């Protein structure tokens, strides 16, 4: 709950300098005595989680300190914290033989194991500590993981959607000592860590959520359909992108035409018109080589890349002014992580299969980003740049001979958090909305170039 604070100073000193000093002093007192949450919204939500340190200390002798066989033999139970929050305590064994004791918070009548404030302590069958995982928000794909190092220190990993934002962060105290330590003390050992990635502000995404809803409604209301090489020109007529000729009865939009339809819908309330097609096909930036140049007429390998770059540049100039439009201003070129988690045995990317980590190269000038890290990238972009949508051009080295990199598919991504703080990626492509997970598994080993467009809630295609 936000607080409004009014301060009345029934005194005006004739000395202006002294008055400014009085005002500065009053402001200083406000900042000191305001609750921490009122000074800055981010970095406070985790501290608001009800602490279960007393419960952890009570169960430690039989659940944490005894053998894993004892932990498995213990009967699961549900306890209530002083706040009234309920926690389910149980032990389980995975396929590798490791035993996990979980303290699962209740959320909506269920104990999922990843509601905000939940813990999962994993040991080998012999009882050696493997990790202690803490879920700061109700999302199985975002967690802080502590691993043993020595008797005086452990290490923390900050994971979002199978990407390590930070790995091996040093934390004072052994892993075992964290098992019963108050949450606030544990967090104190994480000072300076990137906790902002676990604390989205749902209000920041109000307009972008509304935009996604309007796109969905318009797709259904207009009964859009896919048609190869189709787009709407500046006059709102269905034409072939390659020739500009009318489509006739076979009217529809392909993936590129649909992306233009979305951008037109964002710009039209501002400019009153749709974009012309021909300028969107112009080459943008240094891309390709003398090798690919010889095949541009026949293969058009960079069409998708040029298309999304021109759409983003056009949107930037319309929404932010004519001086905006440099490639570096709208192209996504950085990811705040350099390692990702690969999983086996679970096609949906869950946490049941075996896993390992691998280096993630980040942005490649001639390809963009590996699609295996796209979910994490869009999550971090949503945190760092709320209120933006992203156009993506999927690419890979493709035939026929000679093989070369081709940008062959265009999609629209709207990453956002809903009112409850749950993360979503709305994926629009080829005149419809599709599942992001299906998109990701559709293009294994592929790359995607991304451009950003600032957007509000207005939409009129």
Structural domain includes residue 62: yes
Give me the mean pLDDT over the 224-253 stretch. Answer: 94
Q: Do 178 and 237 lie in a common domain?
A: no
Q: Where is the domain boundary, 139, 168, 198?
A: 198
Quick check: 345 pLDDT over 80?
A: no
Q: Do 216 and 192 lie in a common domain?
A: no
Quick check: 439 pLDDT over 60?
A: yes
Asked which of 5-9, 104-108, 444-448 is least confident by mean pLDDT, the reply is 5-9
Give me the mean pLDDT over the 382-408 stretch. Answer: 91
Quick check: 204 pLDDT over 60?
A: yes
Quick check: 3 pLDDT over 80?
A: no
Q: Do 176 and 230 lie in a common domain?
A: no
The per-residue pLDDT for 399 is: 76
Quick check: 440 pLDDT over 70?
A: yes
The per-residue pLDDT for 87 is: 98
Structural domain includes residue 6: no
Quick check: 358 pLDDT over 50?
A: yes
Asked which of 5-9, 284-288, 328-332, 345-349 is least confident by mean pLDDT, the reply is 5-9
Give me the mean pLDDT over the 121-150 stretch. Answer: 97
**Largest Cα span, the chain:** 84
The per-residue pLDDT for 357 is: 85
Quick check: 324 pLDDT over 90?
A: no
Mean pLDDT of the chain: 87
Tell which wins on pLDDT, 323 or 439: 439
The per-residue pLDDT for 288 is: 65
Structural domain includes residue 460: no
Asked which of 153-157, 177-181, 339-343 is least confident by mean pLDDT, the reply is 339-343
Q: Do 228 and 190 lie in a common domain?
A: no
Q: Do 141 and 280 lie in a common domain?
A: no
Quick check: 15 pLDDT over 60?
A: no
Q: Do 191 and 241 lie in a common domain?
A: no
Q: Do 381 and 441 lie in a common domain?
A: yes
Asked which of 242-246, 247-251, 328-332, 455-459 is least confident by mean pLDDT, the reply is 247-251
pLDDT band at 19 (very low <50, low <70, confident <90, very high): very low
pLDDT tens for 39-77 read 334 445 788 999 999 999 999 999 999 999 999 999 999
Quick check: 378 pLDDT over 80?
A: yes
Asked which of 183-187, 295-299, 421-425, 435-439 is least confident by mean pLDDT, the reply is 295-299
Structural domain includes residue 184: yes
Q: Do 215 and 187 lie in a common domain?
A: no
The per-residue pLDDT for 414 is: 98
Quick check: 296 pLDDT over 50?
A: yes
Q: Do 82 and 106 lie in a common domain?
A: yes
Domain extent at residue 75: 46-198
Q: Do 191 and 294 lie in a common domain?
A: no
Q: Where is the domain boundary, 176, 198, 220?
A: 198
């Amino acid at each position: 709950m936000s607080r409004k604070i009014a301060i009345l100073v029934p005194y005006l000193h004739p000395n202006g300098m002294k008055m400014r000093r009085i005002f500065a002093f009053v402001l200083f007192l406000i900042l000191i005595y305001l609750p921490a949450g009122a000074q800055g919204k981010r970095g406070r939500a985790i501290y608001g989680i009800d602490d279960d340190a007393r419960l952890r200390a009570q169960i430690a002798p039989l659940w944490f300190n005894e053998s894993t066989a004892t932990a498995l033999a213990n009967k699961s139970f549900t306890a209530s914290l002083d706040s009234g929050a309920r926690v389910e305590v149980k032990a389980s064994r995975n396929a590798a033989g490791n035993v996990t004791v979980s303290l699962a918070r209740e959320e909506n009548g269920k104990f999922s194991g990843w509601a905000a404030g939940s813990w999962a302590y994993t040991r080998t069958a012999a009882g050696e500590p493997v990790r202690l995982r803490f879920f700061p928000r109700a999302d199985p794909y975002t967690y802080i993981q502590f691993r043993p190092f020595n008797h005086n220190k452990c290490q923390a990993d900050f994971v979002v959607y199978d990407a390590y934002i930070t790995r091996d962060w040093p934390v004072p105290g052994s892993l075992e000592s964290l098992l019963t330590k108050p949450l606030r003390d544990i967090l104190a050992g994480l000072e300076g860590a990137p906790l902002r990635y676990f604390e989205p502000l749902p209000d920041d995404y109000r307009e972008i959520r509304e935009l996604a809803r309007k796109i969905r409604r318009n797709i259904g209301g207009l009964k859009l359909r896919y048609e190869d090489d189709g787009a709407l020109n500046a006059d709102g007529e269905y034409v072939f992108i390659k020739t500009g000729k009318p489509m006739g009865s076979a009217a529809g939009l392909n993936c590129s035409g649909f992306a233009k339809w979305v951008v037109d819908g964002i710009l039209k309330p501002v400019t009153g018109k749709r974009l012309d097609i021909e300028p969107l096909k112009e080459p943008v930036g240094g891309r390709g080589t003398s090798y690919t140049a010889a095949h541009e007429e026949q293969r058009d390998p960079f069409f998708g890349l040029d298309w999304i770059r021109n759409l983003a540049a056009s949107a930037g100039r319309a929404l932010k002014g004519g001086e905006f439009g440099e490639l570096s201003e709208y192209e996504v070129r950085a990811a705040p992580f350099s390692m990702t988690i690969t999983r086996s045995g679970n096609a949906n990317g869950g946490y049941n299969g075996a896993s390992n980590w691998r280096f993630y190269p980040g942005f490649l000038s001639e390809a963009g980003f590996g699609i295996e890290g796209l979910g994490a990238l869009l999550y971090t972009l949503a945190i760092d740049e709320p209120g933006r949508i992203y156009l993506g051009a999927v690419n890979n080295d493709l035939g026929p001979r000679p093989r070369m990199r081709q940008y062959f598919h265009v999609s629209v991504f709207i990453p956002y958090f809903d009112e409850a703080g749950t993360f979503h990626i709305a994926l629009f492509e080829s005149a419809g909305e599709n599942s992001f997970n299906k998109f990701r598994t559709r293009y294994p080993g592929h790359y995607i170039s991304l451009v950003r467009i600032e957007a509000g809630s207005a939409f009129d295609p």
